[in-house]
Chain A
Amino acid sequence: MALALPAAVFTALLFLLPVTILLSEAFTINGEWSLQGYVDFATTPLNQTVFLRTLKLGALVAFTSAIIGYACAFCIVNLEGKSRGRIFGLVVLPLMISPVARTYAWIVILGRTGIVNDTIVSLGLSDTPIRILFTETAVFIGLLQLFLPLMIISLVSSMENLPRDVISAARVLGANWFQVFTKVILPLTKDGLVMGGTLVFTGSLTAYITPAILGGSRVLMLETLLYQRVNVANDFVSAGVIATILIVMCFAANLLLKRIAKARS
């Protein structure tokens, strides 16, 4: 107890307390308790758009990374010892590299004079460069690249725990590959899926760098909106509201996915 206390007190005092005060500020206007901040926030069309876009992108990135993740994790798990470790290392590697660097690369690729546009123009598919940067597509691609490794890692580690030969057993019992996936692999790796899904979804909700660089002020997400509200308008009530929404969504995602995991087991 005495050993764990300093860490807990440190975090509680220097971390949770200031955050709690910030959140409570969204409930007070001119010193009085009020929900007006939330009402104002919810009735502004821009905020609605940003809120829905953040949810949509988060869900889309989580879903896409699950599909790619399963294919990739399945292939990795079936590799032989040495090359498996190497490939897994390459998947982990991007996580260690600055997200700024990781996102910056997409400007070079997706920009007006980037690789994609050069290719499109030189192939004659379009006369002028098309806009990819500062669209939801760009943000989606950036987020997917940022968080895909988390999904693959989660799925690989839960697939490693699959009992040996269950897949062969299912095949011998007459299951086709689709049935093997839905009836054997999916139920047995759902913990990894839930874990990866939570990480990717909440990661996407709370990402700042990617929407800032690849979305700009055209494709605002909740985090970039919060930054803008504070820096441009000095609007701490909106900031508190957005903060509350973000935290509630993160906790809700955690709880919901835990609940799903429990219910199905």
Chain B
Amino acid sequence: MSDAYVSLQNLSLAYGNSIVVPDLNIDIREGELIALLGPSGCGKTTTMRAIAGLMAPHSGKIIIDNVDVTRMPANKRGIGLVFQSYALFPHLTAFENAAFGLRLQKRPAAEIEERVTHWLATVDLVHLADRKPAEMSGGQQQRLSLARSLVMEPKVLLLDEPLSNLDARLRLEMRTELQRVQRDTGITMVFVTHDQAEALALADRIVLMKDGIIEQLGTPDELYNAPRTVFGADFFGFENIFEVSGQDLIGAKGKMPVAFGVTAGHMAWRPGAVSVGSGPWEGVVTGVAFAGEKREYVLDTDLGQIKAATDASDPAHQIGDRVFFDLPEAAAFSISG
């Protein structure tokens, strides 16, 4: 693991007596953009706080740039963190917020002026330098928070749900902004999110976590197309996952006889892979939603609920209709676990 820039080794994290992360190992390369992804309570935020030094690990090591920082206090680590709430200082102007860290280091005024202005320009906030945070929009506060961290030229930049407080349009803008900053500076970034789309769009690699354990670590492609676990498949949009046992497919409500090549593990279908209107089985439509290019169905079947999506141009079915459907083996993704 010589190319690891940030290395978490056998990291165990606990709040009091409750262990949140039992034994975590992650290696992050320099200049990489990593997403810690998972539902709330999976330990992703705790892990991020441990990297920042805001909580002490129960055991294990954190190594950054070949230095063991496990016991190093947060204010000496040189790590930036963009808080979900931005955590801007309400009593200071945008400029002074960004200059906060440099002033603590007692840098010369000229250097402070230059660096702060440079980074405010990078996030397009120079014209608002004299405003207080309360006089700025959510997006502007977010960018100021980013600039405040970047001014310090941190070894690693951590971002806590960086897009979650923004509306859809700003989210796209900020996503582009983050990618640009990352490309321009080559800074190593770790961001925490519960939104799979955000992780897929931004990250070089994704760490999918559940209950403090890594479910899967890989590129967005690998996680989206080749989930290794049922949890991962579910998280990345395989909405129909059934257990295979011999010649049976087992759902929440019951079984259906099939003749698949696979005889154990799980099979998963995205809604689009389910065919509606023809097939060997019958189900009842319990929900229909028109979603532009697609029409989404909820079917009640012998297996339980199945979610399907057909092209909007296909013949439509109504709630209460009995329809034929198929779960084609060729369109299925097979999970061995």
A–B: direct contact at CB < 8 Å: no
A-to-B contact residues, CB < 8 Å: none
B-to-A contact residues, CB < 8 Å: none
